[in-house]
């Protein structure tokens, strides 16, 4: 086995509540399921410029890492927004507009009516809002522009100027605060209640559960594409980025509901300084990580677990890992060049933790053993974003 030149520190916690014998419960199915996903998949496929994103087979990287396969779902081109979050935020905007208009009009408008501008006057009076690290807010802003409603986005101190400008380019009003992500979530919620705005958040908390379900259902478009692209194969492992747990729970829930006991081993990856999911697994209940949450992986700089996400991950995620910062740029560079004959891929800093952790873990005997990673392992990773901040991407990749 040729060792890939990729280094970084990992920590690992095996979830004692996870088991192949666990059944996907009715409570979990109420958050995400294959059946619930059908409407979102049908609607989003009618949007302008919808296209399936690639599932790359990184065969040379897999061979040299000592794995049977690495599949990389490339979301760097999704709807031109360069992120999988284009699916979730915009879909939740559409659902909220349908809900409001149904109450006002006495009938539920179809997606086509929103897209065609048939209800332009009514829609223009509605304002959606959220807090974001960048990609979710861009999706909400894009959805608001596509459907014709107003939009106010809150960002924290560490969100780059490039990401702020990208949201403003879709017509959103962007408010920057001096606090961290979790503080921006609370401010967005408070001001939305005071000013009659609709919060479209990708994280759930007490009293706010329904909209994040729609966000997660939007992500299932990507997951249904993966299933078709795998053409009958089932990965042995899925390494997926953590954050608040919205994406991770959608991935775990959808595949668990679809494949049952044949489901892959779900490994959640987080930054060292923002490991709320790992700490929650250790404690057996949601734990809040406080402080600056300082990490290059800006999209994962989250300190509070999504309540809905935890309903699935608490016993559906098999392993929780953290990845050190030094592995991020090196993995981005590896993908940008194209490893051996593998395709070159544009991957942002929050896109690579899953891939980096899988490769490093396989080449570290203690982690390879505990995760059961070997020459037969078929690993799925999700490249959640491309160069969503072009200036930072160039600094890291060159």
Is pLDDT above 80 for 15?
Answer: yes
pLDDT (mean) for 136-151: 96
Is pLDDT above 70 for 377?
Answer: yes
Cβ atoms of 256 and 143 closer than 8 Å: no
How confident is the model at residue 219, as a pLDDT? 97
Angle, CA 389 vertex, CA 385 and CA 391 arms, to 5°: 135
Q: Which CATH class is domain 85-211?
A: alpha beta
Query: What spatial distance separates the first Cα and last Cα of the chain, rounded to whole Å?
Result: 29
Strand 198-199 vs strand 173-176: parallel, antiparallel, or unpaired? Answer: unpaired
Is pLDDT above 70 for 1?
Answer: no
pTM: 0.94
How confident is the model at residue 290, as a pLDDT? 87
CA 332 from centre of chain:
18
Among 59-63, 204-208, 231-235, 285-289, the range scoring the smallest mean pLDDT is 204-208
Angle, CA 264 vertex, CA 261 and CA 269 arms, to 5°: 135
Are both 10-83+213-397 and 85-211 of the same fold? yes
Determine the CATH number of domain 10-83+213-397: 3.40.50.1100
pLDDT (mean) for 80-109: 95
Cβ atoms of 202 and 88 closer than 8 Å: yes
Strand 55-57 vs strand 69-74: parallel, antiparallel, or unpaired? Answer: antiparallel
pLDDT confidence of 313, banded at 50, 70, 90? Answer: very high
DSSP state, 300?
Answer: G
How confident is the model at residue 7, as a pLDDT? 87
Name the residue ranges covered by the structural domains of the chain. Answer: 10-83+213-397, 85-211
Query: What torsion do the CA atoms of 351, 357, 359, 364 make, to the nearest 10 degrees?
Result: 170
Question: Could you give the residue ranges of the DSSP H alpha helices within 231-325?
Answer: 246-259, 276-283, 307-316
pLDDT confidence of 204, banded at 50, 70, 90? Answer: confident
> What is the distance between the alpha carbons of residues 288 and 78, in angstroms, rounded to a whole number?
32
Closest CA to 248 of 223, 273, 283: 223
What is the residue-averaged pLDDT of the chain?
94
Q: Give catalytic residues, as residue numbers.
A: 85, 133
> What is the distance between the alpha carbons of residues 145 and 324, in angstroms, rounded to a whole number?
37
């Amino acid at each position: 086995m040729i060792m890939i030149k990729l280094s970084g520190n990992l920590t690992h916690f095996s979830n004692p509540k996870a088991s192949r014998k666990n059944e996907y419960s009715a409570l979990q199915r109420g958050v995400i399921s294959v059946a619930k996903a059908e409407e979102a998949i049908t609607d989003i496929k009618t949007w302008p410029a919808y296209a399936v994103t690639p599932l790359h087979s990184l065969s040379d990287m897999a061979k040299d890492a000592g794995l049977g396969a690495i599949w990389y779902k490339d979301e760097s081109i999704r709807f031109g927004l360069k992120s999988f979050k284009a699916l979730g935020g915009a879909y939740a905007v559409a659902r909220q507009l349908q809900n409001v208009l149904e109450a006002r009009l006495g009938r539920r408008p179809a997606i086509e009516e929103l897209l065609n501008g048939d209800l332009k006057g009514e829609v223009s009076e509605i304002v959606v809002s959220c807090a974001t690290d960048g990609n979710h807010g861009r999706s909400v802003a894009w959805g608001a522009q596509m459907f014709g409603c107003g939009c106010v986005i809150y960002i924290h101190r560490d969100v780059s100027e490039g990401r702020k400008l990208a949201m403003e380019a879709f017509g959103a009003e962007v408010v920057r605060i001096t606090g961290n992500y979790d503080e921006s979530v609370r401010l967005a919620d408070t001001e939305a209640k005071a000013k009659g705005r609709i919060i479209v958040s990708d994280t759930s908390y007490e009293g706010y559960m329904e909209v994040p379900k729609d966000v997660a259902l939007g992500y299932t478009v990507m997951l249904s594409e993966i299933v078709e692209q795998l053409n009958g194969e089932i990965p042995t492992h899925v390494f997926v980025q953590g954050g608040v747990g919205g994406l991770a729970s959608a991935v775990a829930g959808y595949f668990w509901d679809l494949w049952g006991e044949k489901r892959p081993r779900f490994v959640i990856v987080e930054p060292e300084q923002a490991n709320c999911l790992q700490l929650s697994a250790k404690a057996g209940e949601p734990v809040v990580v406080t402080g600056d949450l300082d990490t290059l992986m800006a999209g994962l700089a989250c300190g509070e677990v999504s309540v809905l996400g935890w309903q699935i991950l608490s016993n559906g995620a098999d392993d929780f890992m953290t990845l050190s910062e030094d592995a991020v740029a090196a993995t981005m560079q590896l993908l940008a060049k194209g490893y051996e004959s593998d395709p070159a891929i544009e991957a942002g800093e929050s896109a690579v933790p899953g891939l980096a952790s899988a490769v490093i873990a396989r080449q570290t005997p203690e982690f390879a053993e505990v995760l059961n990673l070997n020459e037969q392992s078929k690993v799925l990773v999700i490249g959640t974003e491309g160069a969503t901040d072009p200036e930072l991407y160039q600094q890291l990749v060159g």
